[in-house]
């Protein structure tokens, strides 16, 4: 099985090229468009038409409702599903879209994060009532890591608080001990 990625700016013809290649190269398509994943969001995204979806099997289209959470971990799960389906069907896989961050996550991987206890979630939520204070708390313990997180970035502050409170390890210590592993190998 071969995998190819087509990334680029909006309205550059990526989807049309992916469809043509999929038909010529016996491939499935995995969308890495951050809006196409959502059902009911059809205007701002360049979703394939019903006819295109019938011609070539697509993954990552109309998977979640707009009120459901989507993360890069969700995308990696979708990639694994598409990869497995393509292997089982003897197909190639074309990854297409404008969200290069998702493609980068496949190439560089993600560090595993431990399960977070309910008590840790409660404590981090309490601390996040003062985002600047929560940032300062983490910054005292890990200034190297926290220099890249703004005091207004409550999502990342929450994740790092939970990691620290759950493990007792600073983010730098955790990510050094648990480096990311690539999901797919880059071919030169």
- Read off the pLDDT of residues 74-116 as tens digits, 9 standing for 90 and up: 888 899 999 999 999 999 999 998 767 888 888 888 888 899 9
Query: Helix, strand or coil for residue 85?
Result: helix
Position 165 scores a pLDDT of 97
Residue 155 corresponds to which tokens in the numbers above?
Answer: 């999502």
Position 188 scores a pLDDT of 43
Q: What is the pLDDT of residues 21-57, one digit of tens each?
A: 999 999 999 998 777 888 877 665 677 888 988 999 9
CB 14 within 8 A of CB 96: yes
Task: Give the residue, 99 or 1, on which the prediction is more confident.
Answer: 1
What are the two backbone dihedrals, phi and then psi, of residue 96, each rounded to the nearest 5 degrees? -140, 140
Count CB neighbours of 177 within 10 A.
10
Task: Give the residue, 67 or 187, on which the prediction is more confident.
Answer: 67
Integer-rounded Cα Rg, in Å, for the chain is 19
Position 84 scores a pLDDT of 95
| Mean pLDDT computed over 125-138 | 96
Query: Cα–chain-centroid distance for residue 84?
Result: 18
Task: Supply the mean pLDDT for the chain.
Answer: 89
Position 74 scores a pLDDT of 83
pTM of the model: 0.72
Helices 100-108/72-89 angle, 10° precision? 70
Position 30 scores a pLDDT of 93
Which residue from 115, 129, 102 is spatially nearest to 162, judged by alpha carbons?
115
DSSP state at residue 185: P
**Helix H segments across 90-130?**
100-108, 118-127
CB 161 within 8 A of CB 134: yes
Position 101 scores a pLDDT of 80
Does the structure show a pLDDT above 70 at 186? Answer: no
Position 111 scores a pLDDT of 86
């Amino acid at each position: 099985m071969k995998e190819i990625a087509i990334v680029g700016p909006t309205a550059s013809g990526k989807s049309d090229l992916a469809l043509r290649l999929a038909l010529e190269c016996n491939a499935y398509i995995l969308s890495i468009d951050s809006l196409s994943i959502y059902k009911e969001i059809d205007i701002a995204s360049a979703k394939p038409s019903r006819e295109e979806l019938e011609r070539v099997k697509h993954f990552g289209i109309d998977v979640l409702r707009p009120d459901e959470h989507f993360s890069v971990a969700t995308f990696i799960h979708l990639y694994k599903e598409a990869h497995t389906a393509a292997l089982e069907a003897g197909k190639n896989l074309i990854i297409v879209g404008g969200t290069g961050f998702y493609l980068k996550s496949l190439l560089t991987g993600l560090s595993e994060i431990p399960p977070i206890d309910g008590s840790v979630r409660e404590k981090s939520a309490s601390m996040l009532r003062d985002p600047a204070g929560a940032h300062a708390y983490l910054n005292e313990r890990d200034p190297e890591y926290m220099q890249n997180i703004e005091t207004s970035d409550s999502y990342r502050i929450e994740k790092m608080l939970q990691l620290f409170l759950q493990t007792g390890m600073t983010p730098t210590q955790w990510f050094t001990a648990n480096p990311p592993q690539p999901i797919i190998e880059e071919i030169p």
